[in-house]
A and B are shown apart, each in its own frame.
Chain A
Amino acid sequence: MDSTIARHIFEKMYAIRVFEEKVETLFAKGELPGFVHLYIGQEACAVGVCANLETKDYITSTHRGHGHCIAKGCNLDRMMAELFAKKTGYNHGKGGSMHLASTEIGILGANGITAGGLPIAVGAGLTSNMLKLGSVAVAFVGDGATNQGTFHESVNLAAAFKLPVIFAVENNQFGVGTRFTEVSNGIDIVKRAAGYGIPGVIIDGMDVVAVYEAAKEAIGYAKAGNGPTIIEMKTWRYRMHFQGEPATYRSKDEETEWLKKDPLKIAKTKLKMMGLLDDLIIKEIEASVQNELEDAVEFARNSPDPMPEDALTDLFA
């Protein structure tokens, strides 16, 4: 890692954090329709992985997808406009939070169906091999998705055909309100990798440097034609499953423990210790992201609504 990457990593992590905090406020005020699932607490996962990706690489995301989209390169203004259901949003107001997509930068969609994006990422990996694009496809999923049939089917397909796919599992330990270990007879998802004959690594998902290094290796391995890797990142979401969900299933003690591992704080400390960031740069980045975010909210608020009849376009090519 060098200072350019460190800057990039901190900028994206900070952007996710403040974007999500802004969304939280706007949603509570009733400015945003629909549902939102916030990514706060898991920033190191999306950013650590995506800092290794190029524009030609693909990702598929989840219902909790804002972080992945920012990490892969979405602009905050068009993202915010989509959450405001405006015509200027990435999906022109047809998708919203759970379907954010920007295919020109390789984002094949957030996804409202748990594990729905996994086979799609496998297909993107197939295209990469068929057309010799040298791209990798990262399927971001949570621990919940790993108990869906498509998780097994997708990992098996990618392994069988040695496709350049990374299964980036963010184990935030809860599927909605149920602890993963209560509905799965095992603690580490990564152990399943052995059954598919592929590498699996388990890392601290609150530590962006660890995520970055693990993803770098897995992506290099995939791009060299060796096939997929499962990366399990142990993490914790700082908000509930969706905004408005009652906080009934996690203890205060548990929360306190995980708040101590705030991925943003860890990133700052580590990257500074590594001599790749200093307080001045951090302040500079924070100020510039804050400006961008304020502009994004203004842009979204002032953007036009779609016309009702726009609902009838975009079905077929």
Chain B
Amino acid sequence: MRKISYSQAIAEAQMQEMQRDEKVILMGLVQKDPYGSAFGQTKGVSSIVGTERILDMPISEQGYVGAALGAAITGMRPVVELQFQDFITIAMDQIVQQAANMRYMFGGQIKVPLVLRAPTGGYLSAAAQHSHMLESWFAHIPGLMVVLPSNAYDAKGLLIAAIREDNFILYFEHKKLYDKKMDVPEEPYTIPVGKAAVKLEGKDITVVAWSFMVTKVLDACLILEKQGISCEVIDLRTVSPIDEETILSSVAKTSRILIVQEGYRHSSIATDISALIAEKGFDYLKASIALITAKDVPVPFAPVMENFVLPQTQDIVEMVKRILNKA
């Protein structure tokens, strides 16, 4: 099988869906070739499917996200891109008050077949306004589904599934993953929204992560394996709705859980999963629920400070050993 990168997988998913369904349109900054989006996520698409359905937008996030919503409820299936997830704050009204509420508020009169894609995450010295992980904000809102693929294979399958969904999906891509290559089938395929993946089977502890943290967790588990510790790794893939069953059945097996989240701790997916375990998995536990998250400061520019603030592989190794009393 050929290897392609995460950003190529995203471009391919969009291209194939545009070829399959002429209602699919792309809207965002610099979408057309030769630019093909800031990280190449639409590279090659306009050269193959033409420019008619690929709309380069002004830097006008509230306006064009809202326009994508208006197009979605009147017959199109837009994929709208923000250049960085951080800029989503500008479009919040259209996302939270309009798009998320609309079907419900209208009593089910409409469908909202809309995908909003945005690059997310830190570890790039991009500082506080280009490093956010805001998935927890959106998981808080009824009417939104939130997807964060951790690798190229999932990126393609989840994006195709998202485009075919009749609901509004936020699809957050991690900037550290764009150039990571892996085997990805050429033909279109889907990965269901709302289903987690067990990336590694193990017996001593369940480690839950998503997006770029899956890479860090798998690196840590490789180190731990050499020290005789067997981790079960769950990649959530979708943080809203959360695949509770996969998490609970893993904790039933391992009796321990660590949640690794790149974003801030308070009112977050990580604290939500903790509540889930406390509520429905308490009897399984042999150790306290453990969390690793970003420290509660804006993401700093200097690499030494950024690395201190964001979760690192070594933090995961140490935390797992502490939970297992092997530190």
Binding site for B on A (CB under 8 A): 58, 60, 89-95, 99, 101-104, 108-109, 111-113, 116, 118-128, 130-131, 133, 137, 149-150, 153-154, 156-157, 160-161, 313-317
Question: Across the interface, which residues of A come within 8 angstroms of B192, CB to CB?
Answer: none
Q: A113-B93, A116-B97 are in contact. Are A130 and B71 (CB under 8 A)?
A: yes
**Measured between alpha carbons, how far is A171 from B71 in the docked complex, in Å?**
27
Taking CB atoms and an 8 Å cut-off, the chain B residues in 56-95 that contact chain A are: 57-58, 60, 62-76, 78, 93-94
Further contacts, 16 of them, CB under 8 A, given A104-B109, A122-B70, A316-B145: A90-B109, A91-B107, A109-B102, A113-B93, A119-B62, A121-B70, A124-B74, A128-B74, A131-B23, A133-B75, A137-B70, A150-B62, A150-B66, A153-B58, A157-B63, A316-B103
* Beta-carbon contact of B103 and A157 below 8 Å: no
- Chain B interface size range: 35 or more
Question: Min CB distance, A182 to chain B, in Å?
Answer: 25
**Measured between alpha carbons, how far is A102 from B110 in the docked complex, in Å?**
9
**Measured between alpha carbons, how far is A116 from B97 in the docked complex, in Å?**
8
* Beta-carbon contact of A157 and B58 below 8 Å: yes
Asked if B108 lies at the interface with its beta carbon under 8 angstroms from chain A, I say: yes
**Option from B23, B58, B69 in Cβ contact (under 8 Å) with A120:** B69
Binding site for A on B (CB under 8 A): 23, 25, 53, 55, 57-58, 60, 62-76, 78, 93-94, 97-98, 102-112, 142-143, 145, 166-167
Question: Across the interface, which residues of A come within 8 angstroms of B75, CB to CB?
Answer: 127, 131, 133
Question: Across the interface, which residues of A come within 8 angstroms of B102, CB to CB?
Answer: 109
Question: Across the interface, which residues of B come within 8 angstroms of A161, CB to CB?
Answer: 55
* Beta-carbon contact of A123 and B68 below 8 Å: yes
**Option from A90, A94, A119 in Cβ contact (under 8 Å) with B67:** A119
**Option from B55, B66, B97, B109 in Cβ contact (under 8 Å) with A91:** B109
Question: Across the interface, which residues of B come within 8 angstroms of A113, CB to CB?
Answer: 93, 97-98
* Beta-carbon contact of A317 and B111 below 8 Å: yes
* Beta-carbon contact of A123 and B66 below 8 Å: yes
Q: Which 7 pairs between the two chains have the least Cβ-Cβ distance? A: A123-B70, A119-B66, A153-B63, A314-B108, A92-B107, A120-B70, A91-B107
* Beta-carbon contact of A154 and B106 below 8 Å: no
**Nearest A-chain residue to B106, judged by Cβ:** A101
Question: Min CB distance, B276 to chain A, in Å?
Answer: 20
* Beta-carbon contact of A120 and B110 below 8 Å: no
Question: Min CB distance, B8 to chain A, in Å?
Answer: 27
Question: Min CB distance, B239 to chain A, in Å?
Answer: 16
